[in-house]
Amino acid sequence: MEQTTFPAQYKSDQPVRWCPGCGDHAILNSLHKAMATLGVAPHQTAVISGIGCSSRLPYYMNTYGFHTIHGRGAAVATGVKLANPELTVWQISGDGDGLAIGGNHFIHAVRRNIDINILLLNNKIYGLTKGQYSPTSARGFVSKSSPYGTVEDPFIPAELVFGARGNFFARSIDVELAVTQECLVAAGSHKGTAVTEILQNCVIYNNGIHSPITDRQYRPDRTIHLVDGEKMLFGKDKEKGIVQDGFYLKAVTLGEDGYTIDDVLVHDSHTPSNFLHQQLAMMDGTDLPLAIGVIRDVTTPTYNDALEEQIREVRAAKGFDSLRSMILAGDTWTVK
């Protein structure tokens, strides 16, 4: 199919004001490219955000855009999609905006399965307010608001998505441009709430937080790129794989301990059961490699389609053509 839209069409004329070296620059480029691949015209696209560094993104899009208030992006995006289901709606959020102040809206958007695409840029820190811990910061994390280390456990975004019965979850890393694009194209094609978590580096307040997993020398062994229909292989020479071990997953080296390529699982993001998807999403780069790519992509009825359908049915059944006709069908009397 001939591509009719191009990344430049999605770029606004506003100068991008993120810090030099910020992971958001790469994510913005990936989003422009993904949108061009999806081919939805800029004027049919709405990009909604809350507050935070990542939430500045709508200003850099040549689409309809709405930079709202802290944490409420998912609720605003819900209203946009329900009011005009013809629009393709993207929501940009971060770990503070989406999982702290906006946690309630996040899980309920996922539960309702509104057809919106949520980009969750996770840098495990509050950047715009200059360096406080976030709900994804690890226990013991030292920051300006936790000078002696936090005494609380973090959310794992994937776990929240599955807990809210989400049917699309993908993950990427800011520097993995091709994987990010692949995830966003899949998210944009998915009908229903699509959450894509992108591990993003805050160069000022949390530089290197993802390095133990994402640095070039570690990445082949500590991440795995899941691709539908392909064996779950990783390592520099794809010499390692994921196998089933009872109820759990295990990372093995092919040719060792009797494991062969036949033992390695094949990824299926479309299988309705989320059991294996959850296990894959929870791999954290220590014993098991962190999964990137589209982990779950299952189609179920969306809220917006169901709402339109219900309205069509009820209208057809009742047959009112105006408020007056509806009222007149009820109890009335006439004064002459």
140 interacts with other proteins by CB under 8 A: no
Q: How far is the CA of 143 from the CAs of 100, 105, 126, 139, 148, in angstroms? A: 17, 26, 10, 11, 8
* Cβ proximity to other proteins, 248 vs 333, nearer residue: 333
> Whole-angstrom Cα distance, residue 28 to residue 42?
15
Select the residue interacting with other proteins from 7, 40, 42, 132 (CB under 8 A): 42
Which region, judged by CB under 8 A, interacts with other proteins, from 219-227, 246-254, 265-273, 311-319?
A: 311-319
- Smallest distance from other proteins to CB 319, Å: 8
309 interacts with other proteins by CB under 8 A: no
Collect all residues with Cβ–Cβ distance below 8 Å to 180 and sequence separation of at least 6: 26, 27, 30, 34, 172, 173, 174, 196, 198
- What x-and-dash track marks residues 48-77 binding other proteins by CB under 8 A? x--x------xx-xxxxxxxxx--x--xxx
311 interacts with other proteins by CB under 8 A: yes
104 interacts with other proteins by CB under 8 A: yes
> Whole-angstrom Cα distance, residue 197 to residue 99?
12
6 interacts with other proteins by CB under 8 A: no
100 interacts with other proteins by CB under 8 A: no
317 interacts with other proteins by CB under 8 A: yes
Burial of 240 (0-12, 13-18, 19+ CB in 10 A): buried
320 interacts with other proteins by CB under 8 A: yes
- Smallest distance from other proteins to CB 323, Å: 5
Name the amino acid, one letter, at 117.
Answer: N
Q: How far is the CA of 324 from the CAs of 22, 85, 250, 318, in angstroms? A: 58, 27, 66, 13
Helix, strand, or coil (residue 90):
strand
* Cβ proximity to other proteins, 48 vs 226, nearer residue: 48
- Smallest distance from other proteins to CB 164, Å: 11
306 interacts with other proteins by CB under 8 A: no
Q: How does strand 88-94 pair with strand 116-122?
A: parallel
CB 171, CB 297: distance < 8 Å: no
* Cβ proximity to other proteins, 142 vs 327, nearer residue: 327
- Smallest distance from other proteins to CB 145, Å: 22
Collect all residues with Cβ–Cβ distance below 8 Å to 191 and sequence separation of at least 6: 115, 299, 302, 305
* Cβ proximity to other proteins, 34 vs 233, nearer residue: 34
Q: What is the DSSP letter of 68?
A: -
* Cβ proximity to other proteins, 94 vs 293, nearer residue: 94
32 interacts with other proteins by CB under 8 A: no
- Smallest distance from other proteins to CB 37, Å: 19
In the block, tokens 């811990």 appear at 133
The vertex-197 CA angle with 195 and 199, nearest 5°, equals 170
From 230, 276, 239, select the one nearest 260 (Cα to Cα).
239
Which region, judged by CB under 8 A, interacts with other proteins, from 101-109, 143-151, 258-266, 285-293?
A: 101-109
> Where do contacts with other proteins occur on this chain (CB under 8 A)?
12, 14, 41-44, 46, 48, 51, 58-59, 61-69, 72, 75-84, 86-87, 104-105, 108, 307, 310-311, 314-315, 317-318, 320, 322-324, 326-328, 330-336
